[in-house]
Amino acid sequence: MKYYLIVGEASGDLHASRLMASLKEYDPDARFRFFGGDLMQQVGGVRVKHYKDLAYMGFIPVLLHLPTIFKNLEKCKKDIVDWHPDVVILVDYPGFNLKIAKFVHKHTGIPVYYYISPKIWAWKEWRIRAIKRDVNEMFSILPFEVPFYEKKHNYKIHYVGNPTAEEVCGFRQRYAETKEEFCHRHSLDEKPIIAILSGSRKQEIKDNLPKMLEAAGHFEDYQMVVAGAPSISDAYYEPFLKDTGARIVRNATYELLSHATAALVTSGTATLETALFDVPQVVCYATPVPSLIRFAFKHIIKVDFISLVNLVTQQEIVQELLADRFRIYNIANELYRILPGQPDRARMLAGYQLVRSRLGMEVAPDNAASIMVSLLRRPAARPAETITDRAEPHAESGE
């Protein structure tokens, strides 16, 4: 069968590549065409566009790149029509993907599957209307999304397990490098490590990293090691690292977490990865207009937490310092409380066990692929042969 996949960032490239590999196991005749990245290209198929050409985040970047966004939307729609796949598989990235879903649903008979749900439970909950209308099957990797969709919105979904939990477990079983070997390979010293995961985008790094470094710099018995984001050059990090004593490691985030004593982490999948490596952490996230964001968090945003650790457990396992709480003093204070010998460290590590039990150890891409292939082999799931006129695009970021 023919599978058309669309991702908009590095994490989507990783998860989609593993899904593609699993689809090949269940469907040996699988053929792929995609908007994606290098990892997907390694699995095979035809890459139409690299995700780096799609990723415009925030109001101003989107406004400045409206012509390119329109062009990419139209290119994607036309390519789907011309190739006429058996299914379109969307991976997160709702600003772009939900527009593609609307077009495919309205103008073709091709089923639309969504792998890794948009975070509509946090904001833009109104998108549920588009999902219920345009998405045939939703495949979730977060257990708390099941009651959100099924109980609150009467929309059945598939929880297939969490790929991050399975990936971290597999890595920890394979990884045998000692801390001394790791430090030698990356020209680090032998002090205990405070890992700093400051985000994957330039704006996140610019907003978060300086204060994270200043706070961690108070602990002279530790060395600060920054996990470099794959798409961000060393040159971008240099001004932030200058005169701090911090070092940067690349393509080694899991290795870094394997040897870290504690971590400062921005919100996102990194918080979950850090917990699964049993590294006590402080979640840090700078925002514009902090007082306004705090108001929004209390009155508009639909969740009590921002970190996946706390969302999965529905408890405050890790401290979240965002908006007006994102201050150097607060970061340093919370970091001190989770260092060896401090009582909050043991409490947090115990809470991480609840994270593991909630996520389970199912192999998400295998489960998703099995369900997808089974559904597509039903005669009613085959795509229709007629295509009507295309819909007009609307620009939006990938958030």
pLDDT for 394 equals 39
From the list 339, 347, 289, the residue with the least C-alpha distance to 318 is 347
Is the CB of residue 79 less than 8 Å from the CB of residue 102? no
**CATH code 3.40.50.2000 for 2-161+362-381:** yes
d(CA 68, CA 61): 11
- Determine which of 59-68, 242-251, 356-365 has the lowest per-residue pLDDT on average: 59-68
Task: Output the DSSP codes for 142-198.
Answer: -TTHHHIIIIIS----EE---HHHHHHHHHHHH----HHHHHHHTT--SS-EEEEE-
The pTM of the whole model exceeds 0.85: no
CATH architecture of the domain formed by 172-359: 3-Layer(aba) Sandwich (3.40)
Give me the mean pLDDT over the 234-260 stretch. Answer: 96
- Determine which of 59-68, 90-99, 282-291, 334-343 has the lowest per-residue pLDDT on average: 59-68
pLDDT for 18 equals 95
Q: Cα dihedral sign for 321, 323, 324, 329?
A: positive
Domain ranges of the chain: 2-161+362-381, 172-359
pLDDT for 268 equals 84
**Chain mean pLDDT for the chain:** 89
> Does the pLDDT of residue 183 top 60, yes or no?
yes
Domains 2-161+362-381 and 172-359 share a fold: yes
Give me the mean pLDDT over the 273-297 stretch. Answer: 79
d(CA 313, CA 187): 37
Q: Which residues contact 222 (CB under 8 A, 6 or more apart)?
A: 191, 192, 193, 194, 216, 261, 262
Give me the mean pLDDT over the 199-218 stretch. Answer: 93
* pLDDT category of residue 289 using cuts at 50, 70 and 90: low
Provide the 3-class DSSP secondary structure of residue 295.
Answer: helix
* pLDDT category of residue 23 using cuts at 50, 70 and 90: very high
Specify the residue for token string 């209307």.
129
* pLDDT category of residue 392 using cuts at 50, 70 and 90: very low
Is the CB of residue 265 less than 8 Å from the CB of residue 282? yes
From the list 279, 299, 357, 293, the residue with the least C-alpha distance to 325 is 293
Give 39-56 pLDDT, tens digit per residue.
999 999 999 999 877 655
pLDDT for 207 equals 92
Specify the residue for token string 């008979």.
109
Q: Is 199 left (phi over 0), alpha (psi -120 to 50) or beta?
A: left
How far CA 250 is from CA of 19, 35, 152, 237, in Å, comes to 25, 25, 42, 12
Q: Which residues contact 265 (CB under 8 A, 6 or more apart)?
A: 195, 196, 197, 271, 274, 281, 282, 283, 284
* pLDDT category of residue 288 using cuts at 50, 70 and 90: low
* pLDDT category of residue 279 using cuts at 50, 70 and 90: very high
Give 228-245 pLDDT, tens digit per residue.
987 789 999 999 999 999
Encode 287-324: b = buried (16+ Cβ within 10 Å), e = exposed: beeeeebeeebeeeeeeebbbbbbbbbeeebbbbbbbb
From the list 72, 67, 66, 10, the residue with the least C-alpha distance to 36 is 10
Instruction: Quote the strand ranges of 182-296, DSSP E.
Output: 193-197, 223-228, 247-250, 260-265, 281-285
Q: Which residues contact 103 (CB under 8 A, 6 or more apart)?
A: 77, 80, 390, 391
Is the CB of residue 369 less than 8 Å from the CB of residue 22? yes
Is the CB of residue 393 less than 8 Å from the CB of residue 70? yes
d(CA 241, CA 238): 5
Give me the mean pLDDT over the 311-331 stretch. Answer: 92
